[in-house]
Structure 1
Amino acid sequence: MMERHRFPKEERLCSKRLIERLFHHGSSFFIYPYRVTFLRVDGLNPKVQVLLSAAKRRFPHAVQRNRLKRRMREAYRLQKNGLLFPALEKHPYGLALAIQYVGDGKPDYGHMYRQMAEVMKKLQRENP
C-alpha cells in the first residue's frame, strides 16, 4: 500500500507553551543549512510536532522566507514517514521539533532535501 505524504495541521507545532519549553529546555544540533532543536515530550499526539522558520534578519523579504519555509516543509513532508516516524513508533514519548534555516544565499532544493534526510537520520540516532 502506498504511503500518504501529508503534513496535517496536527503535526504543526503551534502551542506557545510547548514552543517556549522547546527553546528553553530542548537539545539542539546543527547540520548546515539547518539548526534543529528538539525536546522529548511524554504523551504528545501526534508523535512529532514541527515548527519551521527562517530568520527575518537573514531574509528581509517575506517572499524569500515563505519560499524557504515551503521548501523545508516539502523536504520534511516527503521524508518523515520513511526515516523519522518508524523510529518513534516504539517509544511512549513524542518529539517537539524546531527546524530553523540558517544558511545564506539562494538555497538549492536538492541540497535542502539531502540535508533534511541527514537531520532525520541524526534525530533517529539521538532518540534510540
Structure 2
Amino acid sequence: MGTFTEHSAEEQSISYRFPREERLRSKKLIEQLFREGSSFNSYPLRFVALHVPGPAELPVQVLVSVSKRNFKKAVDRNRIKRQLREAYRLHKHVLSQPSTPEGTWYIGILYIGKEKNPFNVICKKLNSGLERLISI
C-alpha cells in the first residue's frame, strides 16, 4: 500500500484552497460585473462573468449568491451557499488551464432554482458552467 504523499506532480500542483482574496467583495467590482458582464444559465445556477485583460494579481475572483426571495430561511440560503463554495473549491482548477487568457476573471455564481438540490447536482452543474465559461 502507498502512502497519501505518493501522488503525481500534476495532482500536487492543484490547490483546492478558496482563500478570502479569491472572493469578490468590492462593491465597485460587483456593480461592474453585473453592468458589463455576460451571463448564461446552467439551471439551477446562473453565471455572470467579466474578463478584464491585463496583468493580474489574482486570476479569478468569485461571488456566490442565493436569493432571499426563493429561500426565506437563512439556514437554507447558507447551506446552499456553502455547497456552492465547496463545489467551486473542488472544480476551480478548470479555470487555471493554460488556454485561459491573461487578466482577471470576475465570476458571479447565482443560485436561481426554487428548490434545494443535492450536492452532486450542484457540483455537476457548476463544473459544466465553468467549462462553458472558459470556452467563451
- Say which of 105, 108, 131 aligns to 1:121: 131
**What letter corresponds to residue 32 of structure 1 in structure 2?**
Y
Structure 1 counterpart of 2:37: 26
Percent of aligned positions that are identical: 41
Structure index of larger Rg? 2
**How far apart are residue 88 of structure 1 and its match?**
5.9
Point out where structure 1 has 5 or more consecutive residues left out of the alignment.
none
Cα-Cα RMSD = 1.3
**How far apart are residue 87 of structure 1 and its match?**
4.5
Pairing of 1:75-114 with structure 2 (within 5 A): 75-81=87-93, 83-87=94-98, 91-114=101-124
> Hey, what's the Cα distance between the residues in 1 that align with 2:41 and 2:135?
14
1:12 equivalent to 2:23? Answer yes
> Hey, what's the Cα distance between the residues in 2 that align with 1:29 and 1:116?
12
**How far apart are residue 105 of structure 1 and its match?**
1.4
**What letter corresponds to residue 4 of structure 1 in structure 2?**
S
**Worse overlay, 39-48 or 107-116:** 39-48
**How far apart are residue 106 of structure 1 and its match?**
2.0
> Hey, what's the Cα distance between the residues in 2 that align with 1:35 and 1:70?
16
> Hey, what's the Cα distance between the residues in 2 that align with 1:22 and 1:88?
22
Q: Where in structure 1 do 4 or more consecutive aligned residues deviate above 6 Å?
A: none
**Length-normalised TM-score, structure 1:** 0.91
Structure-2 change in CA distance of 1:101 and 1:55 (3 Å):
same
1:35 equivalent to 2:46? Answer yes
Q: Secondary structure at the match of 2:106?
A: strand
Structure-2 change in CA distance of 1:125 and 1:57 (3 Å):
same
